[in-house]
Structure 1
Amino acid sequence: MNEAQLQELVESISITHFNKKFLHKASFNNRLRTTGGRYLLRTSNIEINPKYLAEGLEEVVGIIKHELCHYHLHIEGRGYKHGDPEFKELLAKVKAPRFCKPLQTAARTKKTIEYQCSSCLLLYKRYKRMNINKYVCGKCGGKIKLIS
């Protein structure tokens, strides 16, 4: 999907679900990391995270509906923020998600490092490396060795 197709999609969703025209620009923003999209107050433009295209068009449509709720309420001078009752009502009316789902591709598993006491065999799991020459086992005082 390119930017022209995104613009057409946003305009069609705006007319079908809100019965109002979208008169500004919709674009992709590769720098978005923690959000599916955003509505820019100063320019009234909408930016969409292109990584959500891999999750499916259904997820992107949900993000567009959410951002259009911000857009139309802000243009009308009504409560457009997440906590405003008008915003929550409009989200429910158009069946837009309040939050987007986390990206499956961005789901990171934390790497654990395992250490073991050489005398009592107590296992230590850590997320950060530790200096095995500086620390000893808290249970028996034995020497700690790196397993993985």
Structure 2
Amino acid sequence: MNQTELQKLVEEISLKYFYLPFRHEVKINNRMTTTGGRYFLNDHHIDINGHFLDEKYRSDLVGIIKHELTHYHLHLAGLGYQHRNRDFKNLLARVGGSRYTPDIGLRRRQVKNYLYECEDCHFQYPRVRKVNTRKYRCGRCGGRLKLVRRNK
């Protein structure tokens, strides 16, 4: 799906479910990883995560578009457009939009660079950052920690 097809789809969904036209621009943003879309208050355009444009995510894409259009139409109407507002929750439920973006495996995982082990109970502590072994001790038994592995 390209930019013009996405624009047409958003305009159709807006008319079909909200009975109001969408008069602004939809952009594809391939840099998004944790969100499906974003509505911009200043110029009213909508960004859609490019990873959801694949055919296998079509139902998720429609839910994401409904979610962003809910922000769009409520903001332009001067009503509560934020996630916590009752107006937003009611309209989103009425049109059947997604409350949350499904996880499709784009999130980054933190690499555990350090592995510490208690000298007494041998409990292991994987950590992203280095730990001061003079200051910190085992949380289970109070024993001393020693560095077992460093992955940098």
Q: TM-score, normalised by structure 1?
A: 0.77
Structure 1 pair 87–131 and aligned structure 2 pair: CA distance change class (3 A) = closer
Asked if 1 retains the 8 angstrom alpha-carbon contact of 2:33 and 2:106, the reply is: no
* Runs of at least 5 residues in structure 2 that lack an aligned partner in the other structure: none
Give the root-mean-square deviation of aligned CA atoms. Answer: 3.0
Structure 1 pair 124–21 and aligned structure 2 pair: CA distance change class (3 A) = same
The aligned runs of 1:1-148 (5 Å cut-off) are 1-53=1-53, 56-106=57-107, 108=109, 110-111=111-112, 113-116=114-117, 122-127=122-127, 128-130=129-131, 144=146, 146=148
Task: Tell me the CA shift for residue 36 of structure 1.
Answer: 1.6
Q: State how many pairs are aligned.
A: 145
Deviations 1:31-66 (A, max 9, x none): 434322111112111111213335712212111100
Task: Tell me the CA shift for residue 89 of structure 1.
Answer: 0.8
Q: Secondary structure at the match of 2:82?
A: coil
Whole-Å separation in 2 of the counterparts to 1:79 and 1:40 = 15
Whole-Å separation in 1 of the counterparts to 2:82 and 2:118 = 53
Structure 1 pair 140–48 and aligned structure 2 pair: CA distance change class (3 A) = closer
Asked if 2 retains the 8 angstrom alpha-carbon contact of 1:114 and 1:123, the reply is: no
Whole-Å separation in 2 of the counterparts to 1:33 and 1:69 = 21
Whole-Å separation in 2 of the counterparts to 1:71 and 1:90 = 12
Rg (Cα) greater in structure: 1
* Runs of at least 5 residues in structure 1 that lack an aligned partner in the other structure: none
